[in-house]
A and B are shown apart, each in its own frame.
Chain A
Amino acid sequence: MPTIMLINLSYIVAAVLFILGLKLLGSPATARRGNMLSALGMLLAVVVTLLDHAIIDYRWILLGMVIGSVVGALAARLVAMTAMPEMVALFNGFGGIASLLVGWVALAQPQLDNFLLLTVFLSILIGGVTFTGSLVAWGKLSELLPGRPIVFRGQRLVNVALLLANFACGAMFVLDPQQPLWLYLTIALSATMGVMTVIPIGGADMPVIISLLNSYSGLAACAAGFAINNNILIVAGSLVGASGIILTRIMCKAMNRTLGNVLFSGFGAAAAASDKIEGEGTALSAEDAYYVLEAAQSVVIIPGYGMAVAQAQHVVKELQEVLQQNGCEVVYAIHPVAGRMPGHMNVLLAEADVSYDLLLEMDDINPRMETFDVAIVIGANDVVNTAARDTISSPIFGMPIINADYARSVFVLKRSMASGFAGLDNPLFYGKNSRMIFGDAKETVNKLIREFST
């Protein structure tokens, strides 16, 4: 059997393994097996590709693979679960740069027709935007860059100009591939576009932009697949592209915003003008909170990004156990955009060994919120902001929230009365049944646990 035939048949098997892998991700019980199948598909695709006759020298491949494996394995081992968004952002970027480079390498082919040049241009455009965009997202998430949106006058105009200039360069590149200037300009413009796309995104909108960059990294692989005429790149790339787009859509829906609004509006800056709420939040000591919790029959815990920052997931689980031993029902309510990436809270709680069937989605918890004795809000703010439901003038009006205020009493664990990431006041904190427990979330929860043991 000719090698090329073997390679392509193996690619079909690899594609099937990717698809089965994603299918098994449909349930936590089978997900791990799914991931392994997917990895097996990847291994197969890589191994058969190495049989290709076009590959003469294996030394450089080996070098790249060894470095890549060591870095990848170490990163996967060492990353803290709270730092997952940063890592995924960075990896998205690596996928992007790899596709850009593969597109560039495709130019070494002896015959260059217009279609091939166009796909090379697309690989460079999407790959470049993904790379620098992801680096900026990574910088923002790891707080190397300021997390607030960076906006300036005429930003949209600059972005449109960049896009048009890039298309013009792309056209020149296709028409005159011998002139390397157009290639370099396209790379530079794409890289700039990536930076410009992500700097106006605020911290609270990060789940959207990470999902979108995830999608781009797939589309970049897809474009590279067209450039080198390779099916498996197209199949795998478009699966990833579709996955990222779905997540992006879920995230946007959970914030009641369009993608355009997230990308172009620089949310935090616009929100500062909202009305101040009169009144004061009522503070409660941990001791008093204990008496309420001790008598509670059912408690819902609503975690947010603050839980990740305080690394409080393990003590939260302890509190859950203490409450359960006390005969109390404990569940968790997870808002789709809680945290900095889709599913962030679920992973943190899984790390703390919380059973996944206790993690309820917003739509499952809201109808029965009235039945809970206590709702404990830990490091969440915007996702329980009742202004989104009740105040038409609020910038986040219309965003679906977890109705924490419908529970009989609400405990809010918070450092101070300062407003959340969106810069908005939260009427929940001033509600009649709300009590603020000030302090570091982890310490507060620890105090509660100690009260139970004495």
Chain B
Amino acid sequence: MELVYLSFILILSVFLGFELIQKVPSTLHTPLMSGANAISGITLVGALAGAGSESSILTIILGTTAVTFATINVVGGYLVTDRMLAMFKKKATEK
């Protein structure tokens, strides 16, 4: 049942993703990409368990490496997206 339940979530999220992303204007495609990239850093959540366990050294090393890479992804991704989006301005005076 676990498989069915997780697959159910997967399918619904994919459809939701399609609906949401289709509405993003092409002007914002670069920030969309870097923002999505930051979201894919969600693997961080999975990596925490490995890095924080007291099992084998290998698990801790793998987990810590994963935490590092995923954190770069999350922190870097959100910050650079914010930096870009802050530049998108509309000036009423022009045109």
A→B interface (CB under 8 Å): 18-19, 21-23, 25-29, 31-32, 34-36, 38-39, 42, 45-46, 49-50, 52, 54-58, 60-61, 63-65, 67-69, 71-73, 75-77, 79, 81, 84, 87-88, 91-92, 94-95, 97-99, 101-102, 104-105, 108, 115, 210-211, 214, 217-218, 220-222, 224-226, 228-247, 250, 324, 329, 334, 336, 341-344, 346-347, 350-351, 353, 355-359, 361
Q: Which 4 residue pairs spanning A and B have beta carbons closest together? A: A68-B71, A242-B17, A343-B29, A72-B76
Closest to A131 in B: B69
CB of B17 within 8 A of CB of A232, answer: no
Closest to B79 in A: A76
Contact of B39 among A28, A230, A236 (CB under 8 A): A236
* Complex contacts, A46 vs chain B, CB 8 Å: 44-45, 48, 74
Pick 23 A–B contacts, CB within 8 A, sort by A. Answer: A19-B20, A28-B85, A28-B90, A46-B48, A52-B48, A54-B53, A61-B64, A76-B77, A84-B34, A84-B84, A88-B34, A105-B62, A108-B55, A108-B59, A231-B6, A232-B42, A235-B9, A236-B42, A240-B39, A241-B17, A245-B18, A342-B32, A353-B89
Contact of A237 among B40, B69, B72, B76 (CB under 8 A): B40
CB of A97 within 8 A of CB of B90, answer: no
Most buried by B among A19, A101, A245: A101
Given A42-B74, A61-B67, A64-B68: A35 touches B35 (CB 8 Å cut-off):
yes
Q: How many inter-chain contacts with C-beta < 8 Å in the A-B complex?
A: 371
Complex Cα distance, B10 from A237, in Å, reads: 9
Closest to A11 in B: B45
Contact with A along B19-42 (1 / 0, CB 8 A): 011111111111111111111111
Contact of A239 among B16, B69, B70 (CB under 8 A): B16
Given A46-B48, A343-B27: A91 touches B17 (CB 8 Å cut-off):
no
Complex Cα distance, B55 from A278, in Å, reads: 72
* Complex contacts, B21 vs chain A, CB 8 Å: 22, 242-243, 246-247
CB of B91 within 8 A of CB of A218, answer: no
CB of B82 within 8 A of CB of A36, answer: yes
Chain B residues touching A, range: 35 or more
CB distance from A1 to the nearest CB of B (A): 20
Closest to A329 in B: B95
CB of B17 within 8 A of CB of A342, answer: no
Contact of A95 among B2, B23, B37 (CB under 8 A): B37
* Complex contacts, A27 vs chain B, CB 8 Å: 25
B→A interface (CB under 8 Å): 2-3, 6, 9-10, 13-18, 20-56, 58-60, 62-91, 94-95
Closest to B83 in A: A76
Most buried by B among A21, A79, A355: A355
CB of B29 within 8 A of CB of A234, answer: no
CB of A343 within 8 A of CB of B33, answer: yes
Complex Cα distance, B83 from A239, in Å, reads: 22
Closest to A58 in B: B52
Closest to B35 in A: A35
Contact of B42 among A28, A32, A105, A221 (CB under 8 A): A221
Closest to B17 in A: A242
CB of B48 within 8 A of CB of A49, answer: yes
Closest to B2 in A: A229
Task: List 12 extra interface pairs beyond A49-B48, A220-B43, A222-B10, CB under 8 A.
Answer: A46-B44, A57-B60, A67-B68, A75-B80, A77-B79, A79-B80, A88-B30, A88-B34, A225-B46, A233-B46, A234-B10, A239-B16
Complex Cα distance, B75 from A71, in Å, reads: 9
CB of A73 within 8 A of CB of B67, answer: no
CB of B18 within 8 A of CB of A95, answer: no
CB distance from A270 to the nearest CB of B (A): 28
Complex Cα distance, B54 from A326, in Å, reads: 71
* Complex contacts, B30 vs chain A, CB 8 Å: 84, 88, 341-344, 346-347
* Complex contacts, A94 vs chain B, CB 8 Å: 41, 69-70, 72-73
CB of A211 within 8 A of CB of B33, answer: yes
CB distance from B19 to the nearest CB of A (A): 9
Complex Cα distance, B47 from A232, in Å, reads: 13
* Complex contacts, B50 vs chain A, CB 8 Å: 101-102, 105, 108
Complex Cα distance, B78 from A26, in Å, reads: 17
Given A42-B39, A49-B45, A224-B46: A336 touches B26 (CB 8 Å cut-off):
yes
CB distance from A328 to the nearest CB of B (A): 12
CB distance from A231 to the nearest CB of B (A): 6
CB distance from B42 to the nearest CB of A (A): 4
Complex Cα distance, B75 from A63, in Å, reads: 15
Closest to A211 in B: B33
* Complex contacts, A108 vs chain B, CB 8 Å: 50, 53, 55-56, 58-59
* Complex contacts, A355 vs chain B, CB 8 Å: 89-91, 94-95
CB of A229 within 8 A of CB of B6, answer: yes
Contact of B31 among A35, A102, A211 (CB under 8 A): A35
CB of A76 within 8 A of CB of B35, answer: no
* Complex contacts, A226 vs chain B, CB 8 Å: 6
